[in-house]
Each structure stands twice: as structure tokens, then as C-alpha cells.
Amino acid sequence: MVKANAFLPGLEGVIAAETAISLLDTDLGQIIIKGHDLIQLSTQNDYLDIVHLLLEGSLPTEAERKASEAKLKSGYEVPEGVTTILRALPKNTHPMDALRTGISALGGYDAVLDDRATSVNKKRAYEVLGKIPNVVANSYRILNEQETVSPLEELSYSGNFLYMITGKKPTELEERIFDQSLLLYSEHEMPNSTFTARVIASTQSDMYGALMGAVASLKGNLHGGANEAVMHMLLEAKTVEGFEEMLKSRLANKEKIMGFGHRVYMRKMDPRALIMKEALKELCDLKGDQSLYEMCEAGERLMEQEKGLYPNLDYYAAPVYWMLGVPIPLYTPIFFAARTIGLCAHIIEQHDNNRLFRPRVEYTGDRPAL
């Protein structure tokens, strides 16, 4: 029993909010999204279905799905003023900082920015979701002095997103796997970025401000960025043997190995990682080169044996994105883009049932003399 007002570092195990959005049921190994199992959804549904589920509360009919897609596509274009701001950023700007700046700039174009009505917030969420792929892809292109790419409405939402990143239309398999990755990243209960967004929203700040805070949170390498670190390790190691030696060396030096372990999945593999592991095998089979898959499997076995740690989603998402032709610096922005729908759902829920977050502290400093 935790005593009243007990200090728990990192708010470990503290219930911070009531929500009808999602739950990580570690006993059953389920990620529950609005009453549905996320892993099951990832094999039967696509990202647009999750958008409707999180914003409207149910999986869509075919007509509802088409309506949701139309809402997103109507918001694809980004105001020229936002692009001008992105062009003014220094070329060494981190892609997550460019994304944060782009989201901030979008807020200036919202004519009803101070309206917190549920219907307005939902409309706002569709607008932001429509524009996020454009901001992610073209901010990176601008920073790297590449030509910007216009969205292609004839492609699916996920197909267009991947096209804007790579500059080529994806195959059916590439589109399906990328869409599946977005779905798996879409919502995950109360990680730091979601908590940050809810804390900001609790002040009655607007959706753009809450999303900006979430970007800043996700940029931290203890939250986002693991997928990028995993890919750099794989590329540096080159072979199964090289990867095993690298991991052993880092463990001997007591270094943290990115892509393994999770604050919630402490004694089992992240179920989302299993789905991306299967996707990686599909892509490697198609290419006729199993090296990345074999390296990842070897690393998975070694970390379980040596540390009792299991892969999280980032571990297998990284090589999947590499096989899809996604530049490594965009891995974390894509994570955020996928999570935007979950964040928007939490922001709306916070606005609809609000109480300002105002925790207390356990003071460890000096006191004035009596």
C-alpha cells in the first residue's frame, strides 16, 4: 500500500488521469484502444480506421471511412507562410525542432483558436493530421536543400506520406507495412509526451500548444529517438557477429542499449515489436537479403540471455523504415506524426473533462531558522 503523499520517482505507478481512450493491460499483454485490441487492429484494419476510432469512438463504416479520408485530404496543403518560416530555419535545425516550429506556425492560421468545443477540436484534429505528413517531409527536405514535394491526393493517406518522404510512389507492400507502423505507433496510454500534452491542455491552452509540448517531450532520447539509435547501431555493426560484439561491449561498459526494455513491458516483448518483426522479414524476403533480420534476431537473443530485456517497437521499426527508404533523421518525426491522432484524442478528452494539473513536491532543501 502506497502511503498518502508518498514520493514516487518518475511518478512510477501513479494514476494521473481517468481516460476512455486506451489502456496497457500488462496482465493480459493487451494494448486496448477504445475497447479494441491494438495488435488485432494492426492485422485487420488500417491507420484511417484508428483515426475514426479515436476521434469518433467507433470503427468506421465504409462511408464513414471515405468521409474521414476526405477530411484529411482536404487539409493536405500547408499555408505558404508556414513554408516560409521553415525555409528561414538554420540548416542545422533538428527535424523535431522544425516539426515543432511548423505546428506552432499552423496555429496562427486557426481562425477559432480559442474555441475548445468538442466539435471544433475534432475538426482541428483532422486539419492537423492532414498537414502533419507535409510538415514532416517538406521541413526535412528544406533543411537538406532538396525540392519540396506536393501531396498526391490519389494515394492513400499513408501512401502519400511515404511518397512525400521518399519521392517515389510506394508499392502495395510498402504502403501496407508503413501504414501498419503508423497504426502501431498511434496510441499508447500515458507516455511522457501524452502526459505533457494533457498537462498543457489542462491549462486550457490550445491543441497546437499541447502538440508542441509533446514534440519537445518526444525529442528527448529517453522517449523518442530510440529507433534512430537502433539503425545507427545496425549500420555500424554490419554483420551478425559485429552486432553481437557491439552489444556485449556496450553491456560490459554498462551502456544503455536503445531499442530494448520498456517502463511497462518489463518482463515480455512489446507486442507491437512482434508485428514489425514480421514486417521486416517480409521486406527482407522480397529483397533476398536477410542480413538485417538476422542481425536483429541475434541481438534479441543476446539481450534476453544477458539482461532479460526484450525488444520494444523501436527495435524492429528502425530496420523496417530503413528498408522502406526513410532517412534516419525522420524516424522520430514519423513516430510523432503517427502518435498525433492519439495525442489529439487525449487533448480533446482533457478539454472536455478538465481539471488543472497541480501536483506538490517533497521538499529536500533548507528551511529558514525559527
Four-point Cα dihedral 95, 100, 87, 74, nearest 10: 110
Task: Indicate if 262 belongs to the active site.
Answer: yes
What order do you get walking across the sheet with 36-37 strand by strand?
22-25, 30-33, 36-37
* Catalytic residue (choose from 36, 52, 188, 262): 262
- Could you tell me which residues come within 8 angstroms of residue 305 by beta carbon, excluding any fewer than 6 positions away? none
Helical (H) or strand (E) element with 37:
strand 36-37
Q: Name, in order, each residue with C-beta under 8 angstroms of 222's C-beta and a sequence gap of 6 or more.
A: 192
- Is 25 tagged catalytic? no
CA pair distance 114, 126, nearest whole angstrom: 17
Cβ(315)–Cβ(230) below 8 Å: yes
How much is the CA Rg of the chain, to the nearest whole Å? 21
**Phi and psi torsions of 363, nearest 5°:** -75, 130
Catalytic residue among 188, 314, 346, 351: 314
Instruction: Indicate the residue type of 105.
Output: A
CA-based nearest residue to 67, from 52, 45, 47, 53: 52
Listed residue (65, 317, 308) closest to 188, CA to CA: 317
Supply the residues annotated as catalytic. Answer: 262, 314
